[in-house]
Amino acid sequence: MEISGKTVLITGATGGMGRAFCRALGEVGAAIAMLDVDENSLRDFAEELTASGIKTAFASCDIRDAAACQIAIEQLAAHFGGIDILMNNAGITHRSLFSETQIEVLEKVMAVNYFGAVNCTKAALPYLRQSKGTIVVTSSIAGFTPLLGRTGYSASKYALHGFFESLRTELIDDGVKILLVCPGFTATGIENRALSGDGSITKRQWSTTGKIHQPADVANAIINGIRKEKRLLVLSTVGKLAYWIGRLFPKFYEREMRKKLRHEFFPP
């Protein structure tokens, strides 16, 4: 798919990854429709993009609310005359052992990461069918391999894979493409806002493995993936290794992953 002249709807538009998507897609000629819960940040960022010559409109919306998603996306589609690409980017995480995590925290992670994407896809689907467009889903390595202390986050990403891989089979005849993206560790700030087991922002230190990617590099890789109509992008070397090792040697993967992450939760 050629992106210039297309309308791209991006959720979580004012976060670290969302901003990179908006800038990168705008720079290659796309019109940017932004969704986020923070209206003030949306307004300020829209002014910045407009000053750069990027066509932009926005709507404030809590993507956990299906009715609100319907209204906001209808407004943005009416403004631009349709939607060609939907980027389900909004997401949150937690770092807490399941036994220490309130059910409400798990519900919140699922509501944003999974049902938020489902709600936006449901509302945007008529326009995507009309344009034979593309749905992009920001997933994670946690969507295909387990991660210690992130049961709710991993569950939400596994759910995204199951939902969108199944939806892909329903939309083949409509010409709608679906791209699942697993970026690896990226400097977006999401981990600095991770929830603890009681729902507050956690003070636990977090671990990374391999290179920390920059949001702009991830955005450019996704643009290439959209153009080439890819189905899955695993963007980090660590992610690619985890994908295969987790399938071929699951016990080995679990042992090595625990070695890397256990200090976050268990004293030496």
Task: Count structural domains, the chain.
Answer: 1
pTM beyond cutoff 0.75 = yes
* In-domain check, residue 2: no
Q: How confident is the model at residue 214 (pLDDT cuts 50, 70, 90)?
A: confident
**Tens digit of each residue's pLDDT (9 = 90 or more) over 119-162:** 999 999 999 999 999 999 999 999 999 999 999 999 999 999 99
* In-domain check, residue 42: yes
* In-domain check, residue 19: yes
The CATH number of residue 87's host domain is 3.40.50.720
* In-domain check, residue 66: yes
Domain span including residue 19:
7-264
* In-domain check, residue 227: yes
* pLDDT for 191 beyond 90: no
* In-domain check, residue 1: no
Concatenated DSSP letters of 76-140: HHHHHT--SEEEE-----B---GGGS-HHHHHHHHIIIIIHHHHHHHHHHHHHHHHT-EEEEE--
* In-domain check, residue 230: yes
**Tens digit of each residue's pLDDT (9 = 90 or more) over 13-31:** 999 899 999 999 999 999 9
Q: 114 an active-site residue?
A: no
Q: How confident is the model at residue 206 (pLDDT cuts 50, 70, 90)?
A: low
Task: Answer whether 218's CB lies under 8 Å from 226's CB.
Answer: no
* In-domain check, residue 232: yes
Mean pLDDT over 201-205 rounds to 75
Residue among 114, 127, 153, 243 flagged as catalytic: 153
Paired with 8 in beta bridges are 32, 85
d(CA 197, CA 263): 17
